[in-house]
């Protein structure tokens, strides 16, 4: 057993968490960070907690939370406490904890560690514009930090809405000008306070910001180790200042390297499918996805299973070494994941493979939905496959003769397909929303309904004749439909560059 136990080996009650925000399809990054937290907890007989950070109501997507539960369970990452399983530190959904954040914000106001800010969004925007014009970093200028007690009373009496901001030191007797914290993978990191904004803790609608809710919850839920993605490093000094303002112990921080596209940019849906739902619906096995994510960052010793790079979740718990994680961003290489998935498919017995095909390719509920679309469209049952092949294949490649409308150039057609992609990404996956969004786009760009829907039909189905398009897309699913449009555009770009 090569597991590193670092400082934690002697400690009891290790508690870690993931804190996804339900803002859309669950992201591969959530599974990656979930996996690391899961391993960390299981190696140390600790607890793995799932907390839903849903305080940003502008980005809230109602179906997202259930998709997070489903996709993490699909991967085998079970949590000990969470909104659906309960636990002694609940509620585990931040929108149900607003009174707690308000209470804590009041504590900071009382102790002078925070202050009320009455600046209006327009005033803040004007300051921001001036700062940008002067090539200064946009920053709250501290106007309301300097209010006299009389001004404060006046504002309060007039019922003016306000936010609560942290008074970043120097403040009162605290003259510190920088904050240093330890990142377990990187060592000490220092941020000068003149680079740390007086962040908003409580918004004028009474909802907390990420920073306040995250710190209060990590403290109240007794989180010992915050294992999260690297992109949160710049928030950490704000969090450390908050822990100090409350007088609380600071957890250990582990910032994990970000997953990257092949070109080393931060992983994005422009270059890779990032939705876990996509991987599930495209016939990846959870064992392969978990194995693949476990390869990211170098925490698994290379010699395991003779260097095959293939291992189970239990083997990861047994062997993973956190201190070996390299901070250079690991590349999310889809070709490798596909290869690995093929390896896992071949590990199945013929019967298991058959059952996987029956369940995952020809599942009852999927077939039932497709049958509904086909009953009025065929004369013999044998024709069922003729119009439905695209539901069961991974790649459809419509030729130019099929997808290019008669009166359009290739260039404008591809530009319109790109607009369709953006429109679909932003749309709810219901018939009415899709129809309205696509029609609105067509009107804006003066594409007729016929041209508009025909182009999309050929991209999704590979053919000019198909069951009804929007119904088909709903059955096929958002993640896979979007992927199909993206792959179409990529393939066309490749073709164009070959011709140059
Ligand atoms: N809600 C944040 C997210 O969506 C949590 C970040 C953290 O772990 O502190 O990733």
Mutate to test the pocket of ligand 1, among 21, 68, 250, 251 (most ligand atoms within 8 A of CB): 21
CA of 248 to the centre of ligand 1 (A): 20
Q: 307 vs 388, which has greater pLDDT?
A: 388
pLDDT in tens, 211-232: 999 999 999 999 999 999 999 9
- Asked whether the predicted pLDDT for residue 310 surpasses 50, the reply is yes
Question: What average pLDDT does this structure show over 178-205?
Answer: 94
What residue spans define the domains of the chain? 1-78+251-344, 99-211, 380-499
- Asked whether the predicted pLDDT for residue 6 surpasses 80, the reply is no
Question: What average pLDDT does this structure show over 446-453?
Answer: 96
Q: Residue 10: what pLDDT?
A: 52
CA of 231 to the centre of ligand 1 (A): 9
CA of 232 to the centre of ligand 1 (A): 8
Question: What average pLDDT does this structure show over 462-482?
Answer: 95
Q: Among the CATH numbers 3.40.309.10, 1.10.1060.10, 1.10.10.350, 3.30.1490.20, which is that of 380-499?
A: 1.10.10.350
Query: What confidence category does residue 432 fall into, taking pLDDT thresholds of 50, 70 and 90?
Result: very high
CA of 252 to the centre of ligand 1 (A): 15
Ligand 1 atom nearest the C-alpha of 226 is 8
Nearest-CA residue for atom 6 of ligand 1: 19
Ligand 1, pocket residues at CB < 6 Å = 19-21, 53, 214, 228, 232
Ligand 1 atom nearest the C-alpha of 30 is 10
Ligand 1 atom nearest the C-alpha of 228 is 8
Buried b / exposed e over 34-52, threshold 16 CB at 10 Å, is bbbbbbbbbbbebbbbbbb
Question: What average pLDDT does this structure show over 295-324?
Answer: 92
Q: Residue 483: what pLDDT?
A: 93
Mutate to test the pocket of ligand 1, among 16, 19, 61 (most ligand atoms within 8 A of CB): 19
pLDDT in tens, 13-54: 999 999 999 998 899 999 999 999 999 999 999 999 999 999
Mutate to test the pocket of ligand 1, among 22, 30, 31, 53 (most ligand atoms within 8 A of CB): 53
CA of 476 to the centre of ligand 1 (A): 30
- Asked whether the predicted pLDDT for residue 7 surpasses 80, the reply is no
Question: What average pLDDT does this structure show over 130-145?
Answer: 91
> Taking each helix axis from N to C terminus, what angle separates 236-246 and 210-220, rounded to the nearest 10 degrees?
60
Classified as helix, coil or strand, 81 is strand
> Taking each helix axis from N to C terminus, what angle separates 364-374 and 469-476, rounded to the nearest 10 degrees?
180
Q: 235 vs 9, which has greater pLDDT?
A: 235
Buried b / exposed e over 273-307, threshold 16 CB at 10 Å, is bbbbbbbbbbebbbbbbbbbbbbbbebbeeebeee
- Asked whether the predicted pLDDT for residue 100 surpasses 90, the reply is yes
Q: Residue 496: what pLDDT?
A: 84
- Asked whether the predicted pLDDT for residue 58 surpasses 90, the reply is no
What CA–CA distance (Å, rounded) separates 372 from 133?
A: 59
* Cβ atoms of 35 and 77 closer than 8 Å: yes
* Cβ atoms of 77 and 36 closer than 8 Å: no
How remote is the C-alpha of 52 from its chain's centroid?
Answer: 12
Candidates 398, 366, 388, 371; CA nearest to 283 is: 366
Query: pTM, whole model, 2 decimals?
Result: 0.90
Residue with tokens 């300097």: 146
Question: What average pLDDT does this structure show over 96-120?
Answer: 96
Look at 184-188, 267-271, 490-494 and tell me which has the smallest mean pLDDT.
267-271
Q: Is 445 a catalytic residue?
A: no
Percentage of residues in the chain having pLDDT higher than 90? 84
Give the class (CATH, top level) of 99-211. alpha beta
Residue 9 to residues 6, 46, 154, 314, 418: CA-CA distances in angstroms? 6, 11, 55, 19, 52
* Cβ atoms of 117 and 165 closer than 8 Å: yes
Query: What confidence category does residue 3 fall into, taking pLDDT thresholds of 50, 70 and 90?
Result: very low
Mean pLDDT (the chain, rounded): 93
CATH topology of domain 1-78+251-344: Rossmann fold (3.40.50)
CA of 20 to the centre of ligand 1 (A): 5
* Among 203, 244, 266, 269, the one annotated catalytic: 269
- Asked whether the predicted pLDDT for residue 311 surpasses 70, the reply is yes
What CA–CA distance (Å, rounded) separates 71 from 25?
A: 10
- Asked whether the predicted pLDDT for residue 203 surpasses 90, the reply is yes
pLDDT in tens, 338-369: 999 999 999 999 999 999 999 999 999 999 99
Q: Residue 11: what pLDDT?
A: 67
Alpha helix stretches (DSSP H) within 247-333: 276-281, 286-295, 313-319
Ligand 1 atom nearest the C-alpha of 214 is 9
């Amino acid at each position: 057993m090569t597991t590193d136990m670092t400082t934690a080996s002697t400690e009891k009650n290790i508690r870690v968490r993931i804190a996804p925000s339900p803002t859309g399809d669950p992201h591969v990054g959530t599974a990656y960070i979930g996996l690391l937290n899961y391993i960390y907890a299981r190696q140390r007989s600790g607890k793995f907690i799932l907390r839903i950070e849903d305080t940003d109501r502008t980005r809230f997507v109602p179906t997202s939370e259930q998709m997070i539960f489903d996709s993490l369970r699909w991967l085998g990452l079970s949590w000990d406490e969470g909104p659906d399983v309960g636990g002694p530190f609940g509620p585990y959904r931040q929108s149900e904890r607003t009174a707690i954040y308000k209470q804590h914000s009041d504590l900071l106001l009382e102790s002078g560690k925070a202050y009320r800010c009455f600046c209006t969004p327009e005033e803040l925007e004007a300051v921001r514009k001036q700062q940008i014009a002067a090539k200064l970093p946009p920053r709250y200028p501290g106007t309301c930090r300097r209010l006299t007690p009389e001004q404060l009373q006046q504002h309060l009496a007039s019922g003016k809405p306000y936010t609560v901001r942290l008074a970043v030191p120097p403040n009162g007797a605290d003259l510190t000008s920088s904050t240093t914290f330890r990142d377990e993978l990187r060592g000490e990191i220092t941020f000068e306070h003149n680079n740390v904004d007086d962040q908003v803790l409580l918004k004028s609608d009474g909802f907390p910001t990420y920073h306040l809710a995250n710190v209060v919850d990590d403290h109240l839920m007794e989180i010992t180790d915050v294992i999260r993605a690297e992109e949160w490093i710049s928030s950490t000094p704000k969090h450390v200042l908050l822990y100090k303002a409350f007088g609380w112990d600071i957890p250990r921080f582990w910032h994990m390297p970000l997953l990257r596209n092949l070109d080393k940019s931060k992983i994005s849906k422009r270059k890779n499918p990032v939705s876990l739902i996509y991987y599930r619906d495209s016939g990846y096995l959870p064992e392969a996805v978990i194995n693949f994510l476990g390869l990211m960052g170098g925490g698994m010793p290379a010699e395991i299973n003779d260097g095959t790079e293939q291992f189970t979740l239990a083997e990861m718990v047994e062997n993973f070494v956190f201190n070996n994680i390299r901070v250079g961003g690991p590349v999310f290489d889809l070709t490798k994941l596909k290869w690995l998935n093929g390896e896992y498919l071949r590990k199945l017995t013929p019967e298991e493979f058959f059952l996987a095909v029956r369940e995952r390719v020809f599942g009852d509920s999927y077939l039932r939905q497709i049958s509904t679309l086909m009953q009025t469209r065929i004369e013999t049952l044998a024709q069922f496959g003729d119009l439905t092949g695209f539901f069961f294949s991974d790649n459809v490649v419509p030729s130019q003769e099929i997808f290019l409308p008669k009166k359009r150039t290739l260039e404008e057609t591809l530009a319109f397909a790109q607009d369709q992609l953006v429109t679909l990404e932003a749309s709810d996956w219901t018939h009415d929303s899709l129809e309205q969004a696509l029609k609105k786009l067509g009107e804006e760009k003066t594409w007729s309904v016929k041209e508009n829907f025909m182009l999309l039909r050929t991209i999704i189905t590979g053919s000019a004749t198909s069951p009804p398009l929007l119904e088909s897309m709903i059955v096929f699913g958002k993640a896979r439909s979007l992927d199909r449009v993206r792959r179409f555009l990529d393939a066309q770009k490749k073709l164009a560059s070959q011709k140059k």
